[in-house]
């Protein structure tokens, strides 16, 4: 333990015991001793997040102040809170920590030393400290970073609830970023993903100011040094498709792309655990049997300690946080060169998007700005089944600048490095959700393998006249008939109706970006 007075710089006065950069084993012991989690067969720690089993996007705020006012994309995604009300919330939150035991992790976000951010994560729960130590790049156990204050601080207090009438929040949950103080306050929720995503949002603000492209994507590299990026929202397959035996994993969720190449923001992975299969996802499945993995809301037998990954009674959004080193062929440096291939993943709930389509640079920017997919059950409160949605940059909830800022950076990177870009649908075929079926993982893997090998770079394509997409006429190890989604439907007229409906949604959604984009980009979308 370190002197409690070291937290005074953060406004925390007279806390209880302060545990500074405790080891994984020490955090296991504290979590179990305090009744925060259970030890499962094989070694993972299983914890419950209570009523909040996913992110609370409506409870995210940014303090409105002069230094950031002109840069933030204010609105539904980035809600403003005034300094006065935030000051009240901050004061009450810090006072709530008096005489309370606290856990501190000094970490870094960003594997590239030129762009990494030093952060301090202060939590009231041991398992949240373990989560932070797992997900970020920690200093050695038992040590502390430089005496100076870190560049950003996260204070996570699930027991502290906001009062909307006093603090100006939407509910008792709050995730608030104050860039002037370089501070994140989280309260009212035990969902650990809020810690991870708040710092992703911070990087999404800071890096574009340095002309570095922050990305919600996974990344891996082949034996030839060929780097691939996988964009997509939760549930579209980023983690599953990038964690494969024949390629080395750079990272599974958050990256930056600088003049030197790509770099992981994190030191861990945060994967969905529901219905994992040892046959189809062996690497990720194996992490559920290891000491050092933190499992959220996964069912466990209280007597035997055995896990049931198929149990969704609490939530579909069961999660596991584990060190990226648990993936056998991960890249220790967390860095790679410039990408050769970009795969944009979507889970189409209408069942009308093709399994794979080639994108021109203009089409790539169009679909990046659109960010079409389906919200998968459980990733957000109130979502019980897949619902069509558009999320700019495949991660609008985490984007602080206007989406056009990130699209410009993407376009510049594609043009400069001559990257092949593809749209891959991991959603439904043969009908809409409830009628058709999910595209087989085996087919998706075969498609992705062909994309990364370059086998489809020169294949003949046919243009889809509704979605304005170039669809390959063949793909190794994939039946030709599934490449054209209309042919998988029993009734072609029903397909046409659904396709036109979705195309209209694309057009309506893109109107928000028309004034910020060139004609070539606007014309590259559905018609």
The DSSP call for residue 484 is S
- Those residues whose C-beta lies under 8 Å from the C-beta of residue 414, and which sit 6 or more positions away, are 342, 361, 364, 421
> 126-135 and 24-33 are packed helices; what angle lies between their axes, rounded to 10 degrees?
150
Each residue's pLDDT tens digit, 204-230: 999 999 999 999 999 999 999 999 999
**pLDDT given at position 388:** 76
Each residue's pLDDT tens digit, 102-116: 999 999 999 999 999
Catalytic (active-site) positions: 55, 197, 216, 234, 238-239, 253, 319
User: What predicted TM-score, i.e. pTM, was given to this entire model?
Assistant: 0.93
- Rounded to whole angstroms, the Cα distance separating 171 from 168 reads 9
Determine the longest span between alpha carbons in the chain, in angstroms.
71
**pLDDT given at position 192:** 98
- Rounded to whole angstroms, the Cα distance separating 174 from 163 reads 10
- Among the residue ranges 65-69, 298-302, 362-366, the one predicted with the least confidence is 65-69
- Rounded to whole angstroms, the Cα distance separating 389 from 77 reads 14
Name the pLDDT band for 245 (thresholds 50, 70, 90): confident
Per-residue pLDDT at 1 exceeds 50: no
Name the pLDDT band for 382 (thresholds 50, 70, 90): low
Average pLDDT value for residue range 164-192: 98
Asked if 462 and 485 touch (Cβ cutoff 8 Å), the reply is no
Per-residue pLDDT at 37 exceeds 80: yes
Rg (CA), the chain: 23
How many helices (H) and strands (E) the chain has is answered by 12, 31
Each residue's pLDDT tens digit, 465-522: 999 999 999 999 999 999 999 999 999 999 999 999 999 999 999 999 999 899 999 9
- Rounded to whole angstroms, the Cα distance separating 422 from 425 reads 10
- Those residues whose C-beta lies under 8 Å from the C-beta of residue 504, and which sit 6 or more positions away, are none
Average pLDDT value for residue range 279-289: 93
The first and second tokens of residue 402, run together, are: 């206007």
Alpha helices, DSSP H only, in 155-192? 164-167
The first and second tokens of residue 503, run together, are: 């195309």
């Amino acid at each position: 333990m370190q002197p409690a007075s070291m937290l005074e710089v953060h406004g925390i006065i007279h806390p209880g015991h302060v545990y500074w950069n405790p080891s994984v084993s020490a955090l296991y012991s504290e979590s179990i001793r305090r009744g925060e989690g259970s030890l499962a067969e094989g070694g993972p720690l299983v914890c419950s997040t209570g009523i909040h089993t996913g992110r609370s996007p409506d409870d995210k705020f940014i303090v409105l102040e002069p230094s950031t006012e002109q840069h933030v994309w204010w609105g539904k995604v980035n809600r403003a809170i005034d300094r006065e009300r935030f000051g009240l919330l901050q004061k009450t939150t810090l006072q709530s920590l008096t005489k309370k035991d606290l856990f501190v992790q000094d970490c870094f976000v960003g594997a590239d030393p030129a762009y990494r951010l030093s952060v301090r994560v202060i939590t009231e729960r041991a398992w949240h400290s373990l989560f932070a130590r797992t997900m970020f790049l920690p200093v050695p156990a038992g040590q502390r970073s430089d005496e100076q204050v870190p560049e950003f601080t996260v204070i996570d207090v699930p027991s502290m609830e906001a009062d909307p009438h006093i603090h100006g929040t939407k509910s008792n949950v709050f995730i608030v970023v104050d860039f002037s103080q370089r501070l994140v306050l989280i309260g009212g929720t035990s969902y650990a993903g809020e810690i991870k995503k708040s710092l992703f949002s911070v990087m999404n603000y800071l890096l574009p100011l340095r002309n570095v492209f922050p990305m919600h994507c996974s990344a891996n590299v082949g034996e030839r040094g060929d780097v691939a990026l996988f964009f997509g929202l939760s549930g579209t397959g980023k983690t599953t498709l990038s964690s494969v035996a024949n390629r080395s994993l750079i990272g599974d969720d958050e990256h930056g792309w600088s003049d030197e190449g790509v770099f992981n923001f994190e030191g861990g992975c945060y994967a969905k655990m529901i219905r994992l299969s040892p046959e189809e996802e062996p690497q990720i499945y194996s992490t559920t049997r290891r000491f050092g993995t933190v499992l959220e809301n996964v069912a466990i037998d209280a007597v035997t300690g055995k896990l049931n990954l198929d149990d969704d009674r609490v939530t579909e959004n069961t999660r596991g946080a584990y060190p990226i080193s648990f993936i056998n062929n991960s890249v220790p440096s967390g860095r790679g060169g410039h990408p050769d291939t970009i795969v944009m993943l979507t889970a189409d709930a209408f069942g009308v998007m093709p399994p794979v389509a080639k994108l021109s640079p203009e089409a790539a920017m169009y679909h990046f700005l659109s960010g079409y997919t389906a919200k998968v059950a459980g990733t957000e409160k109130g979502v019980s089944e897949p619902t069509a949605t558009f999320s700019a940059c495949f991660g609008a909830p985490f984007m602080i600048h206007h989406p056009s800022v990130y699209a410009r950076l993407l376009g510049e990177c594609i043009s400069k490095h001559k990257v092949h870009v593809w749209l891959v649908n991991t959603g439904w075929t043969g009908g809409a959700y409830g009628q058709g079926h999910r595209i087989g993982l085996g087919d998706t893997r075969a498609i992705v393998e062909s994309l990364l090998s370059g086998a489809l770079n020169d294949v003949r394509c046919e243009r889809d006249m509704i979605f304005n997409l170039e669809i390959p006429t063949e793909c190794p190890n994939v039946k030709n008939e599934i490449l054209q989604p209309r042919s998988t439907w029993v009734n072609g007229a029903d397909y046409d109706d659904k396709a036109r409906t979705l195309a209209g949604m694309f057009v309506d959604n893109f109107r928000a970006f028309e004034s910020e984009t060139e004609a070539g980009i606007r014309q590259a979308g559905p018609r």
